[in-house]
Amino acid sequence: MTNYTTLDNAQALEYVKTQTQLFSDDANLTCYEFGDGNLNLVFRVADQHQNSVILKQALPYARCVGQSWPLTLDRARIEASVLKKHGEICPDTTVQVLHQNNDLAITILEDLGHMQILRSQLCEGKTFDHLASNISHYLAHTSFFTSDFYLEPQQKKALVSEFTNPELCAITEGLFFDDPYRVCERNNFAHGLKEQVNKLHQNHALKLAVAQLKGQFLCSAQALLHGDIHTGSIFVDNKHVKVIDPEFGFFGPIGFDLGSFIGNLLLNYCAQNARAKALPQRRDIHAYLLKCIQTCVSEFEQTWLALAQTHTQDLALQTTGYAELFVEQVLREAFGFCGTELIRRTIGLAHVADIDGIEDEQAKLNAQSQALQLGEQLILQAPHCKSKEDLSQLLLSLLL
């Protein structure tokens, strides 16, 4: 990485102009940086005909914290490689990589500016009927076709090595499974939650269940995950869904991605108690979010089992009934990981705009308290569910 230098607007424009063939030689290019994320610089480069691309450059530190939190630049390679691999499997739901430079930690992507970020749309109460089906298709296909069910053992082990991502996995391990369950300077929560947080810290059964989930995260290299799939890393319009930002990608437990997505829908569910002022509107958005979760879980299971029935290569894993047992465990773990997402997004370092954007402080506190309670109960009770129907009933019992 000796050639690495941080780009500004002029340098990003010059890079696209001289190092790629994405625009014509006589193109009149403009460039501006607009990234508001935690880790990277993000530039939009456009010509006079409104053709544009996104140039993303990883910084050698966490942007949200500063140079006191150094980060590996190799995450740019991981991100681009995950996008390419997932794009081979699900091109319609994965943002396209147009150019990659590992030395400069640069990835150039198709511009999704004509679409909207899912989180902002949900916060406004907008709904998308195709969302759950598209995400379940993406999660089922990308996980199955990078798993031991489909890949040859040597191929799978080579990919696990290629996508080893220890630095960013360490961030996830800390933020999901460690920090929220102890006194930690990175934690961030309102004073009004202090008593609830203290009880959480003293709940041995909860901490034991979280330890089991962390054990799965550490040890179960089941498939190539996105690693950070939340509603801020999904673009939508009235027909399409595109997934971005898999720089936390690695081989891990399949339920982690599914649980992270569900957890973000539930964070929005909690937020809508304050955001949707009128009762009919609130009922409608709550019903939509619950239907999304149920559809996503159901179609994920159906799709995964159909793929396993027709495409499983390993002889032992073809044994009648094994795929069903495997997916049942994936779903249980998904709801547990969902609980950790709810808790860490409420009292950990990185929150979500769904709840933090609520202006009324008491309403915000109520949403945060509900998210904590919901997360705790999902972690504790999901391991005892026997089927997706049990998991659905558990969720309904906690919300309705």
Domain ranges of the chain: 9-110, 116-399
Q: Round to whole Å and give the CA distance between 59 and 70.
A: 9
Question: How, if at all, do strands 30-33 and 61-62 pair?
Answer: unpaired
Which DSSP letter does residue 315 get?
T
C-alpha to C-alpha distances, 135 to 109, 139, 293, nearest whole angstrom: 20, 6, 10
C-alpha to C-alpha distances, 377 to 129, 253, 343, 381, nearest whole angstrom: 28, 21, 11, 6
**In a structure prediction context, what are the per-residue pLDDT tens digits for the chain, which is 400 residues long?**
458 999 999 999 999 999 999 999 999 999 999 987 668 999 999 999 999 999 999 999 876 666 777 899 999 999 999 999 999 999 999 999 999 999 999 999 999 999 999 999 999 999 999 999 999 999 999 999 999 999 999 999 999 999 999 999 999 999 999 999 999 999 999 999 999 999 999 999 999 999 999 999 999 999 999 999 999 999 999 999 999 999 999 999 999 999 999 999 999 999 999 999 999 999 999 999 999 999 999 999 999 999 999 999 999 999 999 999 999 999 999 999 999 999 999 999 999 999 999 999 999 999 999 999 999 999 999 999 999 999 999 999 999 8
Cross-strand bridge partners of residue 45: 31, 53
Token readout for 163 is: 């996508």
Which DSSP letter does residue 257 get?
H
Helix (H, G, I), strand (E, B) or coil at 301: helix
How many distinct helices (H) and strands (E) make up the chain? 14, 12
Burial group, residue 277, by CB count within 10 angstroms (0-12, 13-18, 19+): exposed
Task: Report the top-level CATH class of 116-399.
Answer: alpha beta
9-110, superfamily in CATH?
Answer: Phosphorylase Kinase; domain 1 (3.30.200.20)
Q: Round to whole Å and give the CA distance between 156 and 158.
A: 5
pTM for the whole thing? 0.96
Q: DSSP string of 46-94?
A: E-TTS-EEEEEEE-SEETTTEEEEE--THHHHHHHHHHHHHHHH-GGGB
